[in-house]
Structure 1
Amino acid sequence: MWQSPSPPAERERVEVLESCGLLDSLPDPSFDRVTQLTRLFYGADVAFLGLVDGSMQWMKSRTSTDVPEISGRNDSICTLIIASGRELVIDDIRTSPLLAGHAVHGSPWRFYAGVPLILDGRWTIGTLCILSRTPGKPEGFTTAVLRDLAALSLDLIEFRRRNSELQLLSHSDKLTGLGNRRLFDEEIERACRRAKRTGEPASLILLDIDHFKQLNDASGHPAGDAALVRVASALRDIARRPDDVVARVGGEEFALILGGTDLPAAAERAEWIRTRLEAEGIAHPAGPRGKLTASLGVASTQSAETPDRLFASADRALYAAKAVGRNVVITAPAAE
């Protein structure tokens, strides 16, 4: 069975790719123009711009649905370019010894040409490629234009990456430094798209500080703000994986998006958060033993596939946690 090779420093390469903010993003006309130009110039049947993470290839742009939007990395020819960082031209996919045992032998494609998308002069994050149903190079074929269009694509990617860094400034909550509601709305959309793409679950934890109004009324707003900052600091320490997102989504309400995490694991994480906050010993005049506590609701994409349904499911679980006495974790039903 054919196995896809991996480049050195694969973890760092994937982190660079993720920093671009392109995976699971919405269609972008700028990239579509590049692939259309590529197809037209070469007279190819299909052109596509693909991004390759640790396990999947995802098409940021493709000129035809004959190429799947998502495929396993082991089913991709482009993974050879990811591993080598060099362009690749295959006259006939069906007879190439490079692809012996590869699943693509059963596809309609015969000719393949692709060039790497290399960021920062080092990290091959994807490819710009063409496919044809006719074997052999077209007359006068050269990869020069493909390389130029790949360079244009890299300029677009770099622009998106820098723009993403600037967006973080406008997506931050001023008091706590966490993401704000705007960031949360974008990231929960992305998490649901990623769950659909990869088949892995994502989970959402909603957290509400118990009796926060009483804290503000009794101790003053500066004390309330200080409590919010301490809660945010604890949550930031907890959300350390690349796919984790923590945001302040309301006055005293926080959210954690956990990529690749099913409902039982998320519930366990939520209970750990609850006990961690209780152990922080943040002063609260209306709290148990004069300390701040929180209620948490947990839901997963396994039962709520859209962002709205996922949020609503976690919100109902949070409401239930408050209704039973607060300072507790409630998980949403497995199916709703």
Structure 2
Amino acid sequence: MPAVCSRELCVFSFYTLGVMAGAAEEVSNGAEVVDLLVAMCRAALESSRKSIIFEPYPSVVDPYNPKSLAFSPKKKSYDRLQKALDSIMTIREMTQGPYSSIKKQMDSIDPLAHPLLQWITSSNRSHIVKLPLNRQLKFMHTPHQFLLTSSPPAKEAHFRVARKLYGSTFAFHGSHIENWHSILRNGLVNASCTKLQLHGATYGKGIYLSPVSSVSYGYSGMGKGQHHVTTKQELGKRYNRINTVQQGQSRFLQSRNLNCIALCEVITSKDLQKHGDTWVCPISDHVCTRFFFVYENGQVGDADINTQDIRIEQEIIRAIETKPI
């Protein structure tokens, strides 16, 4: 999927050549992934911190005047952007007919809705694929599971070299869903002591991780407010019930109450600082996302998952090494 260059010349060139159109047409093949991208965009835009975390801001060509930008980082209009985002219809509705008719319907609602959707899908620089049921990690207790690689090829290459030297393990990274709009486009970075930092940096600068799910759930905002921490029995029943529902019925674009957590692979060199269940990795190239899990309507996964449990680690490796999707 092409990534959108922030330079205006690139934006106009992409529009003229129709580069973004192909990405948007993948709606019919990856509806829940588009659901997720739209939900992340919405969360960032509705955040009180949007002036900091809604980055990048869209660069969208005006459909009525191809020589100008309807949305531009140089002239931000969060209200107009919100209106266009609200006009994007649900992916369920969008997959019920040919894409040409879908676009026509969107254009009738808001002429900037479809161009914005094109930007949301084409500006994503991560590789995201919905995991089929037979490859999902059942101990995460959610049907919304994704294979997620947000590292550029160069970083992955550096990571593989480091892994051969020091080995690696798995750990969770928790961050509010409003932050993922930027993470998917800019990568997982060390935000300590920067304007992007939301929580404290008790153990110094670095990417904060934990082998224990409950720790990272807290950073994701789960388990607080209207969230309900379910028992293992309830989790098992819910997962089995979800599995009986057809895949197309588990979309969540309409839900405004979403939380998420990433499962990362981290290099186990001496640079990785372990303070009990809180780990800090000061080297960004030593952390790569592997899986992404989304919980809706206040649900929370199993708080007792520990990636250092050999059974859990084997399950993760099995999911990774299964034939590519």
Sort the TM-score into its range (normalised by shorter chain).
under 0.3
Question: Relative contact order, CA 8 A, sep 6+: which one is greater?
Answer: 2
Larger Rg: 1
Q: TM-score, normalised by structure 1?
A: 0.27
